[in-house]
Homo-oligomer: A and B are copies of this chain.
């Protein structure tokens, strides 16, 4: 029996199958420092134990997207090692905050399967759940990927496509239960603009650009234990479709989120990802810019210290966001767009 794991092919997945992903991961202050050095993230709830304690946190929780990457990374060897394309995310809800010292592990269940018409590949829908060492859910999301078949002739399963919501309902968001954001100070947080100040339709150019280096995206992707081959192997990729290593899409999400501080400094918590599209690949040498649109401003049930903003953040490469590049009249993405992310953040509101 071969000792190496070739990863799963489309035929290896069955509806209802439960997968317990390997190598649980204790996250630490070391991961946090690397996350800072890779993106420059500086939302005050995450940068300062003292600031977090003032609100009622035991200490600063980790950035939500660092949690996302670690939980997601665990699924790669089983779900997407033989993936052709990462097609989408939905219903991604962040749960219990994660602190240095917590140990995260991930399980997935197969919630849909559909062979593609050419019979060479199939789409696998999974629901993945990340938990901490106490079994509390830290992240729960659906994802669908196109996976190669081992044999085009193998029979197709009954097609099942799960019904996934366009967005996470506000009732499903996990607003931190202990902390009291009436105590939130805008001075140290870096911006006077609170939830009350944003309006649906408002667009914000986050202004700065950040150039990606090979060493950076490789170090990030390995930190998350994400083993997808296209990110690390120039010897193979030089003869591949792009001639270069492809940057992990999550790396671009984190860059965009860090850039969004300038305009959204009080959006301290990513509460949900409603959907996301990596509309074009990114490579080392690309300079990433970002702009955001407020899609919706919503009250949170039972909370008058916090509100939710549904945002679209668009990342572009080698093109500033001043004129908000997005889609053309036919709905086709501007070639500079690399990410279209629909997500919901929490922000303190005025008393």
Interface residues of A (CB under 8 A from B): 1, 3-5, 20, 22-26, 28-34, 36-40, 42-44, 47-51, 60, 77, 100-101, 103, 105, 133, 187-191, 193, 197-198, 202, 204-211, 213-216, 218-223, 225, 227, 229, 232-236, 245, 262-265, 285, 287, 318
Bound CA span A280–B229, Å: 25
Q: Once the chains are docked, how many angstroms separate the CA of A4 from the CA of B322?
A: 12
Chain B residues, CB < 8 A from A187: 20, 22
Shortest Cβ gap from A40 to chain B (Å): 4
Contact of A216 among B5, B218, B236 (CB under 8 A): B218
Partner of A219, one of B22, B37, B100, B188: B37
Q: Would you call B210 and A232 a contact (CB within 8 A)? A: yes
State A188–B26 Cα separation when bound (angstroms). Answer: 13
Tell me whether A285 and B234 are in contact in the complex, defined as CB-CB below 8 angstroms, given that A3-B263, A38-B219, A215-B216 are known contacts. Answer: yes
CB contacts (< 8 Å) of A40 on chain B: these are: 221-222, 225, 227
Among B5, B37, B245, B318, contact of A191 (Cβ-Cβ < 8 Å): B5
Q: Is the CB of B223 within 8 A of A37?
A: yes
Please tell me if the beta carbons of B188 and A36 are within 8 angstroms of each other in the complex.
no
Residue contact B190 to A318, C-beta cutoff 8 Å: no
Complex: A236 Cα to B33 Cα, angstroms: 27
> Is A33 within 8 A of B36, CB to CB?
no
What are 14 A-B pairs with beta-carbon distances under 8 A?
A3-B193, A3-B204, A22-B42, A22-B187, A22-B265, A23-B43, A30-B34, A31-B36, A37-B222, A42-B225, A47-B225, A208-B232, A211-B214, A236-B287
A233 and chain B: residue at smallest CB distance: B209
User: How many copies altogether?
Assistant: 3
Nearest CB of B to A123, in Å: 25
Of B28, B43, B101, B105, the contact of A30 (CB 8 Å cutoff):
B28
A293 to chain B, nearest CB (A): 12
Q: Which 6 A-B pairs have the closest CB atoms?
A: A30-B33, A22-B190, A235-B287, A40-B222, A215-B215, A28-B29
Q: Which of B193, B209, B236 is A232 in contact with, Cβ under 8 Å?
A: B209
Does A213 contact B211, Cβ atoms closer than 8 Å? no
In the assembled complex, the Cα of A38 lies from the Cα of B223 at a distance in Å of 8
Q: Which of B33, B209, B245, B318 is close to A31, meaning CB atoms less than 8 Å apart?
A: B33
A222–B50 CB distance below 8 A: no
* Other-chain contact of A24, B48, B197, B233, B318 (Cβ < 8 Å): B48
Given known A34-B37, A189-B22, contact A234–B287 (CB-CB < 8 A): yes
In the bound complex, residues from chain B placing their C-beta under 8 Å from that of A101 are 49
Q: How far is the CB of A183 from chain B (nearest CB, A)?
A: 15
Using A3-B263, A26-B60, A245-B211 as known contacts, say yes or no to A188 and B105 having CB atoms under 8 A apart: yes
Question: B262 contacts A4, CB within 8 Å?
Answer: yes
Given contacts A23-B188, A26-B60, A216-B219, contact A206 B44 (CB under 8 A): no
B26, B207, B211: the one within 8 Å of A235 (CB) = B211
A245 to B208, CA, bound (A): 14
CB-CB under 8 A from A208, the residues of chain B are 227, 229, 232-233
